[in-house]
A and B are shown apart, each in its own frame.
Chain A
Amino acid sequence: MATPTLDKMEAAAAASPFITVTFRIRRFNPEISDESTWQDFQVEIDPKERVLDGLHKIKWDLDGTLTFRRSCAHGICGSDAMRINGKNRLACKTLIKDINPEKPITVEAIKGLTVMKDLVVDMEPFFQAYRDVMPFLVTKGNEPTRERLQSAEDRERFDDTTKCILCAACTSSCPVFWNDGQYFGPAAIVNAHRFIFDSRDEAGEQRLEILNDKDGVWRCRTTFNCTDACPRGIEVTKAIQEVKRALITRRF
């Protein structure tokens, strides 16, 4: 059993790990002003901590009015997608040390959705697009008494897109979505993909027709922003391409 990495890590932790980091946060509260402003906060923090820990230090010790969503704090619930140093990430999955803490860390709300207050956006249009692609298993005929059978290979076919946590990091990183909120956006297509390629599902054609719409998959310009942004490592652009191909070949 190897332990050297750990010993190193623990020795490093024994010395005072704290550094001073500037968080530059885009504040917005329509109860106070119609304009958003950038505000700087200095925080003493261990670089191995998360951006979310930094935001908590600000909220709990410096300014209770700072507003953001968060829940699980380890990248599973999808609450805290935000734009950190210009890139969409989950605050709870981004360590300070990985985003150059020597310079101010900028934090702002994700783009393309209406900002309600500080880092909180209106998620309704995002969830509406999700609901519009029929994100549920559709089957015909009589229900079997036991489980439906599915081979391990067929299960693997759509594994990647089952990982989606609906955080909106992909959709709100998409330039097409920024310019036209009518576009379904990557997350909705990912969730359509998850069912289109599920061997048990029988509504693939219907979903493809929905996505064949002028606001559907053809709007995608393959910029790969969504793939870069996905905190779950889903190959989002590839999934969109597979849906496009299925629309042409009608094979899935």
Chain B
Amino acid sequence: MKIHKYDTVIVGAGGAGMRAAIEATKRSRTAVLTKLYPTRSHTGAAQGGMAAALANVEDDNWEWHTFDTVKGGDYLVDQDAAEILAKEAIDAVLDLEKMGLPFNRTPDGTIDQRRFGGHSRNHGEAPVRRSCYAADRTGHMILQTLYQNCVKEGVEFFNEFYVLDQLLVEVDGVKKSAGVVAYELATGEIHIFQAKAVIYASGGTGKFFKVTSNAHTLTGDGQAACYRRGLPLEDMEFFQFHPTGIWRMGILLTEGARGEGGILRNKDGERFMEKYAPVMKDLASRDVVSRSIYTEIREGRGCGPAGDHVYLDLTHLPPEQLDAKLPDITEFARTYLGIEPYTDPIPIQPTAHYAMGGIPTNVEGEVLADNTTVVPGLYAAGEVACVSVHGANRLGTNSLLDINVFGKRSGIAAAKYSAENDFVELPENPAQQVADLVEHLRNSTGKERVADLRLELQETMDACVMVFRTEQTIKTAVEKIAELRERYKNVSVQDKGKRFNTDLLEAIELGNLLDLAEVMAVSALARKESRGGHYREDYPNRDDVNFMRHTMAYREVGADGKDSVRLDYKPVVVTRYQPMERKY
């Protein structure tokens, strides 16, 4: 066991982590611990763009962007946070441009902008061009640009260090962050990182679904580490299903394809979104479009022999436009489906895409231990966090924005905290929990296999808590997850070695997914309404009287040692916008 001491430790090297690192490294001695090499993060898979009301190509302003974000989130958004997001978006884009990001340009040489779902002119009048983009590789460019600037600033990375535990120590009755415990993949060694401030930026948890746009490595590691130490998780029932994943594979095809003029069609060739969203049509918010697609499929208008998908039609767009604006997704269609998008429509289905919920934070990125109390020294930003700027449904292009705005904010805030505070003494045997976990999995002779349990979990989640949910399906999920968590105790790995033991890593990741799936299902069961990404067929309407509030889920351990999820609620911050019916 090795002990390291840093002012600031950042967990994760995707967009939020590296944006935070650029700020924190300038101001404090910072280490970035990352499960993957920095440029492997799933930020790089984001395609369509980053929203900011630059008004480079048409009239726009941050207030309209704030409104769209609040409405898109079905009024579960904390409006003070959304206002910060929309206001600081402009500087966030300009920061990236100055760091070197190669945005597409207008004929005037300014940053070009395009349409995206849910982003509108003057509170819903018509679609607006707000998304700043670099072809359909905006996430790739952001990730590369941030890494380039980390190299420039001399950011210190610990690559392939997997953080498994959050150390919390009570000092004078206040729970404070003392550091983290990490597992070094190359050697199997356990490392303690004592730090004055810790920032989680470890991304989402989409891998508990089978059809997902998420990377294999998105297993909710940061959420699980905090949750197991008694910290709450907010709004975990809200998960976004992106309308256009490649049929069966789930690979993302950007909403930018519809922003460029792409159309969704059913088996009759009908542009069905005209029925569901007369104004915004194919560019309604993602939850609306995903539900519309499944409604078409359920009512027998899906495509293919099984009628289990619809088409994304780009055939009316000029090939030059596809080549210039959508080169990657057209290549995905060719590579993975053998389809030529110039001439043939692309079979798509909704794909599990983004966790709106996560570790609750305030607008400085400080993690909350309950509805109001901050955990001193602990921060979170990006998909792992819930600020909440996305509410019940995130707008496209607001996640690349979120990681930049709140990555920067948390980096600055954490470094300031490090400068003003001392180290918290490490608890006794700080590595104990991780050592026990690793030893248990390495030595287990149980008969359960990781791949089997994971597949059963994913199939359960796809069947029971996807786009449409009912009390019955969610209860089925809760029961199945409980069974899988029980069986997980008997999981064993074949690789008993220390060196690059990815077999062990996958077992640990599965444990995280199971815990978080339980939180999600339990939170979803209790929310007896439909809002944004959470759609209950048995409660099809939004219920602002009883449910315009954030879910806060806590892990409770009973006297018998069994754990369960306890739910509490937190009020939504409302500033300008009273809830209205949501129409696109």
Decide whether A and B assemble into one complex: yes
Contacts A29-B497, A152-B107, A155-B105; A2 near B315 (Cβ below 8 A) = yes
In the bound complex, residues from chain B placing their C-beta under 8 Å from that of A5 are 338-340, 344
Cβ of B196 within 8 Å of any chain A Cβ, yes or no, is no
Minimum Cβ distance to chain A for residue B32 (Å): 14
Per-residue contact bits, chain B 275-312, to A (CB 8 Å; 1 contact, 0 not): 00000000000000000000000000001110000010
Minimum Cβ distance to chain A for residue B341 (Å): 11
In the bound complex, residues from chain A placing their C-beta under 8 Å from that of B45 are 72, 74, 76-77
CA distance A148 to B103 in the complex (A): 11
Per-residue contact bits, chain A 152-163, to B (CB 8 Å; 1 contact, 0 not): 100100110011
Identity of the chain A residue whose Cβ is nearest the Cβ of B141 in the assembled complex: A162
Cβ of A252 within 8 Å of any chain B Cβ, yes or no, is no
Cβ of A3 within 8 Å of any chain B Cβ, yes or no, is yes
Within 8 A of A (CB), among B414-434: none
Q: Are B102 and A2 in contact (CB under 8 A)?
A: no
Identity of the chain B residue whose Cβ is nearest the Cβ of A14 in the assembled complex: B305
Contacts A65-B503, A72-B215; A165 near B151 (Cβ below 8 A) = no
Q: Are B332 and A74 in contact (CB under 8 A)?
A: yes
Identity of the chain A residue whose Cβ is nearest the Cβ of B40 in the assembled complex: A77
Q: Are B215 and A65 in contact (CB under 8 A)?
A: no
Cβ of A151 within 8 Å of any chain B Cβ, yes or no, is yes
In the bound complex, residues from chain A placing their C-beta under 8 Å from that of B497 are 29, 31-32, 65
Which of B91-99, B226-234, B372-380, B469-477 contacts its partner? B91-99
Q: Are B305 and A1 in contact (CB under 8 A)?
A: no
Which of A16-24, A129-137, A170-178, A204-212 contacts its partner? A129-137
Q: Are B495 and A65 in contact (CB under 8 A)?
A: yes
Within 8 A of B (CB), among A99-133: 116-118, 120, 123, 127, 130-131
CA distance A184 to B44 in the complex (A): 25
Cβ of B494 within 8 Å of any chain A Cβ, yes or no, is yes
CA distance A1 to B500 in the complex (A): 50
In the bound complex, residues from chain A placing their C-beta under 8 Å from that of B37 are 79, 123, 127
Cβ of A42 within 8 Å of any chain B Cβ, yes or no, is no
CA distance A128 to B103 in the complex (A): 27
Cβ of B390 within 8 Å of any chain A Cβ, yes or no, is no
Within 8 A of A (CB), among B494-518: 494-495, 497-503
CA distance A240 to B254 in the complex (A): 32
Which of A33-41, A56-64, A222-230 contacts its partner? A56-64
Minimum Cβ distance to chain B for residue A32 (Å): 8
In the bound complex, residues from chain B placing their C-beta under 8 Å from that of A241 are none
Minimum Cβ distance to chain A for residue B335 (Å): 6
Q: Are A77 and B100 in contact (CB under 8 A)?
A: no
CA distance A148 to B95 in the complex (A): 11
Per-residue contact bits, chain B 27-64, to A (CB 8 Å; 1 contact, 0 not): 00000000011011110110000000000000000000
Per-residue contact bits, chain B 320-340, to A (CB 8 Å; 1 contact, 0 not): 000000001000100111111
Identity of the chain A residue whose Cβ is nearest the Cβ of B452 in the assembled complex: A60
Chain A interface size, as a band, is: 35 or more
CA distance A31 to B140 in the complex (A): 36
Cβ of B216 within 8 Å of any chain A Cβ, yes or no, is yes
In the bound complex, residues from chain A placing their C-beta under 8 Å from that of B217 are 71
In the bound complex, residues from chain A placing their C-beta under 8 Å from that of B340 are 5
Contacts A2-B315, A31-B498, A72-B215; A77 near B450 (Cβ below 8 A) = no
Cβ of A149 within 8 Å of any chain B Cβ, yes or no, is yes
Q: Are A135 and B345 in contact (CB under 8 A)?
A: no
Cβ of B122 within 8 Å of any chain A Cβ, yes or no, is no
In the bound complex, residues from chain A placing their C-beta under 8 Å from that of B462 are none
CA distance A29 to B502 in the complex (A): 13
Q: Are B102 and A3 in contact (CB under 8 A)?
A: no
Which residue of B36, B498, B500 is within 8 Å of A79 (Cβ)? B36
Q: Are B98 and A78 in contact (CB under 8 A)?
A: no
CA distance A60 to B455 in the complex (A): 11
Minimum Cβ distance to chain A for residue B105 (Å): 5
CA distance A204 to B344 in the complex (A): 44
Minimum Cβ distance to chain B for residue A206 (Å): 13
Minimum Cβ distance to chain B for residue A209 (Å): 18
Minimum Cβ distance to chain B for residue A94 (Å): 9
In the bound complex, residues from chain B placing their C-beta under 8 Å from that of A150 are 105, 109
CA distance A131 to B141 in the complex (A): 17
Q: Are A70 and B216 in contact (CB under 8 A)?
A: yes
CA distance A166 to B344 in the complex (A): 32
User: Which A residues are within 8 Å of any B CB, using their own CB?
Assistant: 1-3, 5-6, 9-11, 14, 29-32, 48, 59-61, 63-65, 67-79, 93, 95, 116-118, 120, 123, 127, 130-131, 135-137, 139, 143, 146-152, 155, 158-159, 162-166, 195, 198, 200-201
Minimum-distance CB pairs A-B, first 10: A137-B100, A64-B494, A60-B451, A149-B109, A64-B503, A136-B148, A136-B152, A65-B495, A147-B97, A71-B215
Give 4 A-B pairs besides A71-B36, A164-B144 with Cβ atoms closer than 8 angstroms: A29-B499, A77-B39, A123-B37, A155-B103
Cross-chain pairs A/B with CB under 8 angstroms, 30 sampled: A1-B265, A6-B304, A29-B497, A29-B499, A31-B499, A65-B494, A67-B495, A67-B503, A71-B40, A71-B217, A72-B215, A76-B44, A77-B39, A77-B40, A78-B40, A79-B36, A93-B335, A123-B37, A127-B37, A130-B151, A131-B151, A135-B151, A137-B98, A146-B94, A147-B93, A147-B111, A148-B98, A149-B105, A152-B106, A155-B102
